Structure 1
Amino acid sequence: MLLRYLLLAVAVLSLVACQSKDSKKLELKAADLIKFEETVKVKKQWSRAAGSGQEKRFSRFVPALDGEGGIYTVGYKGDVQAFDATTGKKRWKVKTKAEISGGVAASASGIYFGTYDGMVHVLNKDTGELNWKAKVSSEVASAPAGNSDIVVAVTIDGRVFAFEAETGALRWSYDHMLPVLTLRGTASPVLTPTQVIVAFDNGQVLSLGAKDGSSQWQLRVSRPQGRTELDRIVDIDGTPVLNGSYLYAGNYQGNVVAASRGAGRLVWSKEASTHNAVVVANNKVFVSTDESRIVAYNALNGELEWENFQLKRRNTSAPAIFGDYLAVADGYGYVHVLNQDDGQFADRFKLAGGGKMRRAAIRAPLLGDGDTLYTYSNKGKLSAYTIVGESK
C-alpha cells in the first residue's frame, strides 16, 4: 500500500515540476489549446447536485448506468444517489457510513460499490436499501461488477471474490501474485454468463469460470522490462472491453491488444502506454495514452487509423463515445469533442470550477450513452450533454 501511494506522490511531483522556470523542465509543459473551427454544438441538457463527489485520495468515481433508464453516483462521504438518466430527476438518495473507494456499478439486479476497509456493498436498485454486504481481504479500488447470478470484486492485494448475487454468500475466490510496485488503482472485472474476465497489475488478463472460478485462459498484454521496479510497472488499470468476439485491453508501459474472447488468443498488439480504459466503436479502438495522445486503431487488424497529439501532456481521461463523436476530459477542466473518423476537434467546452491541473473540475472519466455524454465533477455535479446540431 505504501508503495502505491509513493508512486502517486512521484506523479504529483512531476506535475509540479511543469511549473518550473528551468528550461529542461519546461519541456514537460502541457500543450496550449489550439484554435479550430467548430463543426458541432454540444449543449448541456441538465445538471444536478449529486453528493459529495471525489475525495483527496485520487478517487475517480464514474457514474453508472443500469441499462433501464437509471444513472447512479457515489460520493466520498458515503452518499449514493439515483437519477433518471434522461431528465436528471432524482429518484432516491441514501447516506451510508461506508468510506467508498471503488466507485459504483449498476445492473438490473442491484447497485455495487467497494470500500477502503474491504467491504462490498449491494443496494436495491429501486430504493437504495442495503441488500447485503460482504468482507473481502483488502481495499476495493475499482467498481465491482454484477449480474443476476454473481457479484465480483477485485482487491488491491490481487484477489478476486465472487458472491451469490441474491444472498451475498461467497461462491469462490482467486488469488493472483502481484509485483512489488504498482500504480494506484485496479481494473473492474468484466462478466459474461460463463466468464469473469479480470485484468491484473502484472500485465495479465485472466478468464475465470463464473461458476467455480476455474482458470479458462490467460493473456499477456505485455511483460515487465527494465532494471528498476519503476521501469517494470505494467499495470492494467483500465477495464478490458468485450466487443463481439474480441477482447481489447491496454496497459501502462506496454501495449494495446486485441484477443479472441473465447480462447484469449492474441490477434494483434501495438506498443502504447495507457492507464485508461480503451473504447471500441465503429470498427475502431480509441486510446488516450499517458502522454495524452489520442489514437485510433483498426479494431480488426490494429493498423493505425489516426492520432491527435494536440493535447500533449494535458492529462487526458479515457475516451467516451457519444453519437458519432469521441470525447475526452483534460486535467484543466476542458472537455474535447473529436470526430471519430479523423480525430479532428469538433467542439470544446470547459466545466465550471476548472483551473490548474491539481484543481481541475473533473477527475472522473466521462461516460457516454448513445447521444448523451455524462460528466461527474470533483465537487459532485452530475451533468448531461447532447449534440444539438452543426455549429454555425
Structure 2
Amino acid sequence: MLRFLLLLVTVAGLVACGSKDAKEIDLEAVDLIDFEKTIEMDKLWSRSGGSGQDKPFSRFTPALDGKGNIYTVGYKGDVNAFAVATGKKIWSVDTKQRISGGAGANNNSVFFGTFDGTVHVLDSETGQQRWEASVSSEIASAPASNGEIVVANTIDGRVFAFAAETGELLWSYDHTLPVLTLRGTASPVLTSSQVIVAFDNGQILSLSASDGSTQWQFRVSRPKGRTELDRIVDIDGTPVVDGGYLYAGSYQGNVAGVSRGPGRVMWTKEASTNHSVAVYGGKVFVSTEESRIMALNGITGELEWENFELKRRNTSAPVVFDDYVAVVDGFGYVHVLSQADGAFADRFKLAGGGSRSRTDVRAPLHSDGTYLFTYANSGKLSAYTVKDAD
C-alpha cells in the first residue's frame, strides 16, 4: 500500500509544481489534422453495459469468449453478457462485489477479481457463480484461464493458480516489487503449459502451468535514474502471445520481442508505454506515452511506420480489426489507421463533450478482429464495423 500512496503523493506534487489548470493541460494536446477518409465506420448497436467505471481509476475492459459473446463488469458489482452480432443482452447478474480487475472469459466461464482479494468465476451460460477463492490482496487486472486452471495476479506481486472446475488452490508464486509503481497490473497469459506473468519491475516470467516452477525470465527494461519515480518500469499492459513469439512493452523502458519457448529476447526497441501492444500480420503496434502510434517488425523490431499526429492526446492501447488499427484518445475520438502505413482512414467522436473537452472513455478499445467495441465510463457498450460500400 505504501508504494501506491507514494505514487499518488508524487503525481499530486508534479501537478501542483506545474501550476497548470485543466484547460492549460488540454491545450498541450495537438489539434486534429484534416484528412481524406478512405472508409466509414458503421455503428451496429449500442447498449447499457451496467454501472461502468468508478470515479477514481478503474479501466474495466470487456471480455470476449469463443462463442460470439461479450461480457462487461461494472463498479457496482454487475456482470453482463451480450451477443456480439446483435447486442442482445443474454443475462445480467448483481454479484454485490467491489469489482476491481475487469473481466476475463473463455467458452465456459467469466472471471473477475475484487478489491478485497477474491477471485470469482461465473458460468458463462447463466451468470451463476461457480466458485470463489481468496488471495492475498487486491486484484487489479482480469484473471485468465487455459481451461484447466484460473490464474490471478495481485497488487502485492503474487500469482495464484486455481483448478478451473473446483477453485482449489494448486500453487502460488511470490515476486518482490519496487517501492513505487504505477497503479495497475498486467493480466497473466496462459498456454497449455505456460503461465506468463509481467511484473512492475519490468520483468516477465514464464511459470509452469502444472506447478508454478520458473521456466525462464527476462527484463523488458531495467530501472534507470536517481529517483524512485525515474526508476518506474512497470509492465501494466498484458503481454501478447503470437504463435511462438511474445511481445510486451514497459513504462519508461522498451518494447521487446521474445521467442516464447526458450524465453530468448530477439529485439528491444526504446519506447515508453503502459499499454498492451497489438500484434497482427507480422507487425507489433504500439501506443506510446506521448501518443505516438508505431508499427514495428515482429521479427526484427525495426520501425515500419509511425504516426505522431496525435501527440499528447492520451491515446489508448491499440487494437486491430479488419485491415486497420484503432485507438481512442482522451477527448473521446476514435482514430482508425491503416495497418499498412499508419495513415488515417476514419475518425469519429463518441458521445459527450466538444472537440476540446474530455470524454469519459477510460477503457481501451476492444476487438474480435472484425468488430470494434467501445466501453464508456457510463457503462455504454457499442459495436462498430467497417461500413459496406454502396
Q: Scaled by the length of structure 1, what TM-score is found?
A: 0.95
Residue identity matched to 1:336: H
Residue 211 of structure 2 is matched in structure 1 by: 212
Residue 131 of structure 2 is matched in structure 1 by: 132
Mapping for residues 261-340 of structure 1, pairs under 5 Å = 261-340=260-339
The answer to whether residue 361 in structure 2 is matched with residue 388 in structure 1 is no
Secondary structure of the residue aligned to 1:252 is coil
Secondary structure of the residue aligned to 1:126 is coil
Please say if residues 108 and 125 of structure 2, whose CA atoms lie closer than 8 Å, have aligned partners that are also in contact.
no
Matched residue count? 389
In 2, distance between residues paired with 1:333 and 1:240?
25
Please say if residues 354 and 361 of structure 1, whose CA atoms lie closer than 8 Å, have aligned partners that are also in contact.
no
CA separation of 1:175 and 1:28: change in aligned 2, threshold 3 A? farther
Residue 86 of structure 2 is matched in structure 1 by: 87
Q: Scaled by the length of structure 2, what TM-score is found?
A: 0.95
Secondary structure of the residue aligned to 1:3 is helix
CA separation of 1:43 and 1:137: change in aligned 2, threshold 3 A? same
Residue identity matched to 2:104: A
Secondary structure of the residue aligned to 2:3 is helix
Unaligned 5+ runs, structure 2: none
Residue 3 of structure 2 is matched in structure 1 by: 3
Cα offset, 1:21, TM superposition: 10
Secondary structure of the residue aligned to 1:331 is coil
Cα offset, 1:282, TM superposition: 1.0
In 2, distance between residues paired with 1:18 and 1:306?
36
In 2, distance between residues paired with 1:281 and 1:191?
19
Residue 37 of structure 1 is matched in structure 2 by: 36
Residue 232 of structure 2 is matched in structure 1 by: 233
- CA offsets 1:322-373 (integer angstroms, 9 cap, x no match): 1000110000111000011111111100111245888422110001112210
In 2, distance between residues paired with 1:204 and 1:317?
22
In 2, distance between residues paired with 1:46 and 1:295?
30
In 1, distance between residues paired with 2:355 and 2:7?
21
- CA offsets 1:228-260 (integer angstroms, 9 cap, x no match): 000000000000000011100000011000011
Secondary structure of the residue aligned to 2:96 is coil
- CA offsets 1:59-103 (integer angstroms, 9 cap, x no match): 111100001111000000000000001100000000011000000
Over the matched positions of the two proteins, sequence identity in percent amounts to 66
Residue 368 of structure 2 is matched in structure 1 by: 369
- After TM superposition, the structure 1 stretch with the greater mean CA deviation from structure 2, 337-346 or 28-37, is 28-37
Cα offset, 1:109, TM superposition: 2.5
Residue 50 of structure 2 is matched in structure 1 by: 51
In 2, distance between residues paired with 1:6 and 1:297?
35
In 2, distance between residues paired with 1:114 and 1:68?
23
The answer to whether residue 242 in structure 2 is matched with residue 243 in structure 1 is yes
Secondary structure of the residue aligned to 1:40 is coil
Please say if residues 249 and 256 of structure 1, whose CA atoms lie closer than 8 Å, have aligned partners that are also in contact.
yes
In 1, distance between residues paired with 2:341 and 2:14?
32
CA separation of 1:369 and 1:5: change in aligned 2, threshold 3 A? farther
CA separation of 1:358 and 1:202: change in aligned 2, threshold 3 A? farther
CA separation of 1:358 and 1:216: change in aligned 2, threshold 3 A? farther
Secondary structure of the residue aligned to 1:30 is coil
In 1, distance between residues paired with 2:112 and 2:22?
43
RMSD value, Cα = 2.1
In 2, distance between residues paired with 1:21 and 1:201?
29
Please say if residues 6 and 180 of structure 2, whose CA atoms lie closer than 8 Å, have aligned partners that are also in contact.
no
